[in-house]
Amino acid sequence: VQLQASGGGLVQPGGSLRLSCAASGYNLDYYAFGWFRQVPGKERELVSSISSSSGRDTYYADSVKGRFTISRDNAANTAYLQMNSLKAEDAGVYYCAAVWAPGSTFSMIRLSDWKDWGRGTQVTVSS
């Protein structure tokens, strides 16, 4: 699977951004998608993820719950991360990732399972 993230930029605290992850490949409906954030000096952190097919199951890091929403559009082969009420600590390079996870395997995905990565998109939150 090839992934291309976009939508990053500079936004003021309290503002919003929507990240997009365009995917190409086969059987994309069977892939779960995730958004990771990396800041200098820290490990890449899973921010949010969504299960395959209908995207019924989602995960959010505690720091973004209630502010970020992940979704997927299978017809467009795209996953999204809507980020609202942005804070300075949300800044970083955001990467989208995909993992083969058909059926009810979403809850069993480990961090090391995320194998397909896109290039990152920079999010800067500053006044």
- Structure confidence at residue 103 (pLDDT): 83
What the block records as the tokens of 83 is 């980020």
Contact assessment for residue 72 and residue 79, using Cβ atoms and an 8 Å cutoff: yes
**Calpha distance 80→8 (Å, rounded):** 12
pLDDT digits 0-9 by tens, 65-118: 999 999 999 999 999 999 999 999 999 999 999 999 998 788 888 989 999 999
Q: Report, in angstroms and rounded to the nearest whole number, the Rg of the chain calculated over CA atoms.
A: 14
CA dihedral 92, 98, 99, 101 (to 10 degrees): 120
Rounded to a whole number, what is the distance in angstroms from the first to the last CA of the chain? 37
pLDDT digits 0-9 by tens, 13-59: 999 999 999 999 989 999 999 999 999 999 999 999 999 999 999 99
Three-state SS annotation for 62-84: CCCCCCEEEEEEHHHCEEEEEEC
